[in-house]
Amino acid sequence: MPSTSPLRSWVASANGHRDFPLQNLPLGVFSHNGSAPRSGVAIGEHIFDLEAALAAGVFEGLARTAVEATRGGQLNGFFQLGREARVALRERLLELFTEGSTLHGKLEAQGAKLLPLATDCQMHLPAKIGDYTDFYVGIEHAQNVGKLFRPDNPLLPNYKHVPIGYHGRASTVRPSGTDVRRPKGQTLPAGHSEPTFGPCARLDFELELGIWIGQGNDMGDSIEIADAADHIAGYCLLNDWSARDIQAWEYQPLGPFLSKSFITSVSPWVITAEALAPFRRAQPARPDGDPQPLAYLLDPRDQASGAFDIELEVLLTTESMRETGLPPHRLTLSNTRHMYWTVAQMVAHHSVNGCQLQAGDLFGSGTLSGPHNDQFGSLLEITEGGKKPIELASGEVRKFLEDGDEIILRARCVREGFASIGFGECRGTVLPAR
């Protein structure tokens, strides 16, 4: 039964914190005062330094094994340990930080050595990413974009049978806060029959859920749909920055290439399955007439609880809005419920041919748009490919992103009777082409 009085922490800023109350406890990699990147846990306005805590002797048993695997500035080893170690660490962290903890005095006495303020720290990528794959499971987005590129044929016939994806570029995934250099490339301007080369004129964002892979599989083996959830280490926000003019010219027949690989931004905190447990939902029933998934993609437990209810938000600020103190403009309020395939289905499908997944691999869900204009997860959809510019409080208009614009992604989980948790932010500011 839901608790009516959620657990409280002696870390005062954690109680009621928008993103990181005691119930969340996401892991990440940070540095403080010029330190080497090290693992930590977000709690309220602070970061709990796991490596310093390990040295202080507050972990034993499986929780200690888990923390030892986070050392070295990347969480791949911890991801590879899987669920049991992650749960042992979470239980120990709950013990340490709940109000009345016997270790409260010992931990607090070490002050910023153990619990620096997050604002004094720099965040890094949480893992060394071997491979990055971007899916296309947001069906509203697939339909909206399909209409723009192929008005007569929006959803291709494979969509409802195959979780569509493409192999992205791991080398250019960056943590929130990294600037986005406007890419240059080859485009075919409207009305022309020959391409030109120059800065992207139709720069866009994509609102996506990021998925961190935990235990992988050997090449030649596959991950069964019933086991797939246990191969996920956690979740983040992902902005799949997109150069729409480059994309439109290059994407056929093999899919996106240089239009996507210049940067992909992720929020730095890894939100665990345990923190998200209260926000799981049944996968929405498929509309009448849609095919049932093939057996290798169908698992009753996954259908009953494999979806999430996570609010997703996109905010835009321009240089002039920031200078004049105007608040960010909300472009989008969407939700992970608009996924046609579950995360477990993505994992099962990705590995069904024997493709090896490895701890620290990253998936993007694909753009998660809702059915209405204020729920669209890209400017391509919001402005209908630039035909319907949006007006901002500053008097500026936007079809696509201009230099100096900043995009902020946020996510929040809310359910009556449970503490709300968030993902933190995924930010990026557009710089002029070089």
**Angle at alpha carbon of residue 407, lines to 202 and 129, rounded to 5°:** 90
| Closer of 19 and 134 to Mn ion (Cβ) | 134
Q: Which is nearer to Mn ion, 10 or 249 (CB)?
A: 249
- The type of residue at 415 is R
Q: What is the DSSP letter of 395?
A: S
Beta strands 280-281; 421-431: pairing state: unpaired
Residue 19 or residue 208: which is nearer to Mn ion going by CB? 208
- Closest contact distance (angstroms) between CB of 183 and Mn ion is 15
Q: How far is the CB of 168 from Mn ion (least distance, A)?
A: 8
Task: Please give the residue ranges that form the binding site for Mn ion (CB under 5 A).
Answer: 134, 206, 240
Instruction: Find all residues with CB under 8 Å of 351, minimum gap 6, and list them.
Output: 217, 221, 222, 223, 357
Residue nearest to Mn ion (CB): 240
Cα separation, 307 vs 341, whole angstroms: 9
What is the widest separation between alpha-carbon atoms in the chain? 73
| Alpha carbon distance 416, 413 (integer Å) | 10
- Minimal distance, residue 239 CB to Mn ion, in Å: 9
User: CB 164 → Mn ion: shortest distance, Å?
Assistant: 11
Closest approach, Cβ 318 to Mn ion, in A, equals 24
Which CB sits closer to Mn ion, 63 or 209? 209
> 173 Cβ partners below 8 Å, 6+ apart?
125, 129, 132, 263, 264, 265, 266, 362
Using alpha carbons only, what angle is made at residue 64 by residues 59 and 65, rounded to the nearest 5 degrees? 180
Which CB atom, from 240 or from 405, has the smaller least distance to Mn ion?
A: 240
What residue ranges in 214-321 does DSSP mark as E strands?
A: 232-239, 242-243, 264-266, 280-281, 307-308, 311-317
Catalytic residues: 141
Q: How far is the CB of 340 from Mn ion (least distance, A)?
A: 14
In this structure, what token pair is assigned to residue 280?
């799981």
Measured from the CB of residue 265, what is the shortest distance to Mn ion in angstroms?
12
> 54 φ, ψ to 5°?
-60, -45
Residue 188: name the closest of 196, 199, 178 by CA: 196
Q: How far apart are CA 354 and CA 365, in angstroms?
A: 21
Query: Looking at beta carbons only, is 206 or 313 nearer to Mn ion?
Result: 206
Residue type, 161: H
- Location of structure tokens 């993505």: 346
Q: How far is the CB of 96 from Mn ion (least distance, A)?
A: 38
Rounded (5°) CA angle 407-413-419: 130
Q: Which string of b and e fits 154-185 if b means at least 16 CB within 10 Å?
A: eeeeebbeebbbeebbbebbbbbebebbbbbb
